[in-house]
Each structure stands twice: as structure tokens, then as C-alpha cells.
Amino acid sequence: MAFSTTAKKASRGMLLPVIAISVLSFVQCASKHSVTTSATASNPDKGLKDYYKDYFPVGVAVSMASLHGPDSALIVKEFNSVTPENDMKMGPIHPSENVYNWKNADAIVDFAVSHHIKIRGHNLCWHNQEAAWMFKGSNGEPVTKELLLQRLKDHIFAVAGRYKGKIYAWDVVNEAVDDSDDTTQVYRKSNWYKICNGPDFIDSAFKYAHEADPNAKLYYNDYNSEHPVKREKIYKLLKKLIEDHAPIDGVGMQAHWKLNDPSPDELRKALDEVTSLGLKVQFTEMDITIRLPKPNPAPGTTPAVAGATPTPDQGYTPEVEVKQVAQYKMAFDIIRQYKKFITNVTFWNVSDRASWLDGRGGGIMGGAAAGVNTPRVVIKAYPLLFDENRQRKKAYIAVVNF
Ligand code: XIL
């Protein structure tokens, strides 16, 4: 650490009022001029990657669809890192024991290499989009821990081995921490955890990834990493990995954020805690949804019935825009201050035209899951820096003007 905790605290004490004032005046200014502020207050010849060239690579999650068609030019212009949104996950890439689907992953890697764009690999071990076959023996019985770890090793050697030297950082284990408020429940009770009867699989995954590609930087990746309870659980997991000498380089904070979440203080605390362990940080899946938190179901109703009273479809109003701009500005102001620890910031999807969030939440929060008798209430998330026409939003202007 280059500066002491005391020095850090002192400098933060001085910086906070300045940040508070500048965010406040920006918000006031933005709300006064929200209709007239021109989206051209950025340099059309520069992309995000150029604005941040002295800080960190700026990335985006990509699919096959985004490599072809209008997103592609935007990706090349704005970003110098990509993450495959789905195509390297265990289920999609390794659907049965001897079957690997390399086509999409290879295409993304080829695209990135040909444009001199860095690649983050996502991910090698997760409880979602998993390869169900891994957990079962030939007669459908649960596998032993030994066999599961052997399969995990084979998988990691195949995937990380194939892209060795091309993928510079891997999310080795994704979302292994429990979400509840119970502080004694550190680990998610996933198939991995249950079959291995504990968190050893996390250590093993890091070990295998390091063996498969010794030069790749290895990350533990999770969401809500700024929320106090989860932050402490993630800290415990990281501490254990370090004590076990697992080859971990850093933490991916997914950064699926909201208009008021995280607070500046929470963001700083999360960064301070992780970096105090000597780890790097990447913001791996950034987006800031405009959606309000899901209302709690009324007592005695099922969530589905409660869902019949949807959050009003506010749309991307000027008020919402001002809040989103302020949240993006706050986050990037802090992120820049931590530049020596931060080695990537990646957005999850290219533009508000197609965010993964728009497909989530069923009838209540918008998305595709509304049924015949449930009105389809599409509450778009508008979470990114480019609008539905792929134009720079005011939030873009806010993060590049520093
Ligand atoms: C999401 C993708 O964006 C969707 O297309 C897919 O249907 C589900 O997964 N945390 C992660 C990402 O680590 O892999 C998830 O990506 C979003 C949440």
C-alpha cells in the first residue's frame, strides 16, 4: 500500500466535501439544463478507452449479435476490453461430457484479437448456467467430490488452456457467497458447495486456472459487494483464499447498481477492504438501473399477486436521468481515485437498446415473462451510457469530463 490508512482517511476527509459539492452542483446544473444540455459535450474522435487510457481498460459484455451489425463499430470505437456475456459459461460451452461448443467463444476471441482488444474470460465455475451433467454419475446418482473436482479441472484446463495467452483475466469463481443477512452463512449452498461439502472447490478452481494459464490474472467475482453484510462475507472468503495461498489476483465487483445504491461511503469501504488484502479490483458488469426496488408483497399475498400491482412505468424521465447521471459521476469520481488498484471497468451490454435487465423480473418489473392474463409491464432499465439509438447519454458526458 503506498499510503497509510491515516493518510488515506485524512485525504478522504478533505475530499468528501469537495465531491459532495461538485455532485450537488452537477445535479442542480443538470436538472436546470436537463432539456438543453447537449450530448455533444464529448469529443467524437475519442472513445471511453481514450478518456481512460491513463487509468484502466474500459470493457463491454458482448454476444455474437453485438459483433455483427451496428454495435460492432461502437465497440471498437469506445472499448478496449470485452467479456463474452454468455458464450464461455460452463453450460453453453461444455453442455455434456465430451462436447465443447467453441464456435461463439472462438469468434469473440478472434474479433477481439483482430481489433487489439483485451479479453476477460467469464467464467469458470458458477451455480447458474451450469453444466448439469457434471453433478451426476452415469446412473443419475450424485457424483463424488473427487469426480466433481476432476471434472472441474478438466473443464478449466480445456477452456482456460484453449485461450491461454489471449485471455488476460478470468472470473474463476462467480457468486459463491450467500445472499442472506445471516452472517454465519458465508457460502452459497450451491451444487458445488453441497457435493464438495464445503468451499474447497473455490481454492481448487483457482489452482486449476493458474495451472492452465499461469499468466492470466485470476478474479473472484460477485454482486452487491458493497452491501455491508455481503461485503463482510466476501472478505471472509477472500481472506481464506489468501491464507490457503490460492493464486488469486483480485476481486470482480459486478457493479449492477441502482440510482442510490451503492452510497459513496459503501463504495469506498468495499474498495478499502479488498485492497487492504493486497488484491486488485475490476468492476466487471457495470450498469445502473433506473428501476425502483421491488415492492414487498402485502402480507398474506403471494409474490405473484403482489406482482399484479406493478411499480409504475416511470420511463426515462428527466428526474431519473439526473439521478442516474449523478450516480455514474459519483462512482467514476471514486473509481478514478483508486486507479492504482483498479485494472478494468466493464459495462454489461452495449446500449439501452438491449440490456439483460430488460428481460428480467416477469410481469412486475418488466421483461418477457408476463403471461396471457398478466399485463406485460415493460419497465426498461436504461442502465448504460449509450441510449437506444446508441448515442452517448448525459451519463457518458459525466464520466468522461474530469
Ligand atoms: C447474464 C446474461 O447477461 C444474460 O444474457 C443471461 O441470460 C444470464 O446471465 N451476473 C453474471 C453474469 O455474472 O454472467 C450474468 O449475465 C448477469 C449477472
User: Closest ligand 1 atom, CA of 122?
Assistant: 14
**183 within domain boundaries:** yes
**30 within domain boundaries:** yes
| pLDDT of 356 higher than 80 | yes
Q: Residue 202: its pLDDT value, please?
A: 98
Number of independent structural domains in the chain: 1
**1 within domain boundaries:** no
pLDDT in tens, 115-126: 999 999 999 999
- In three-state secondary structure terms, 340 is coil
User: Which pLDDT band, with edges at 50, 70 and 90, does 379 fall under?
Assistant: confident
Q: Which residues pair with 285 in a beta bridge?
A: none
| pLDDT of 60 higher than 90 | yes
What length is written for the chain?
Answer: 402
The C-alpha cell that represents 260 in the structure block: 442510490
Q: Residue 33: its pLDDT value, please?
A: 38
Q: One of 78, 226, 273, 285 is an active-site residue; which one?
A: 285
Q: Residue 291: its pLDDT value, please?
A: 85
Q: Residue 297: its pLDDT value, please?
A: 56
pLDDT in tens, 228-282: 999 999 999 999 999 999 999 999 999 999 999 999 999 999 999 999 999 999 9
DSSP 335-351: HHHTTTTEEEEEESSSS
| pLDDT of 114 higher than 70 | yes
**79 within domain boundaries:** yes
Query: Which protein residues touch ligand 1 with a CB less than 6 Å away?
Result: 85-86, 174, 254, 285, 356
Q: List all residues 6 or more positions away from 66 whose beta carbon is below 8 Å from its beta carbon.
A: 72, 75, 350
**68 within domain boundaries:** yes
The Å distance, Cα 31 to ligand 1 centre, comes to 33
> For a pLDDT cut of 90, what percent of the chain falls above it?
77
**43 within domain boundaries:** yes
Pocket test for ligand 1, best of 285, 360, 384 (most atoms within 8 A of CB): 285
Q: Residue 69: its pLDDT value, please?
A: 86
DSSP 3: S
Residue of the CA atom closest to atom 16 of ligand 1: 85
**384 within domain boundaries:** yes
Q: Residue 298: its pLDDT value, please?
A: 57
85 is annotated as an active-site residue: no
Whether the Cβ atoms of residue 379 and residue 309 lie closer than 8 Å to each other: no
| pLDDT of 305 higher than 60 | no
pLDDT in tens, 20-32: 444 434 443 343 3
**77 within domain boundaries:** yes
CA distance 119 to 6: 37
| pLDDT of 100 higher than 90 | yes
Whichever domain contains 284, its CATH number is 3.20.20.80
Q: List all residues 6 or more positions away from 33 whose beta carbon is below 8 Å from its beta carbon.
A: none
Pocket test for ligand 1, best of 356, 358, 360 (most atoms within 8 A of CB): 356
DSSP 136: B
* Residue 294, domain extent: 6-400
Q: Residue 61: its pLDDT value, please?
A: 98
175 is annotated as an active-site residue: yes
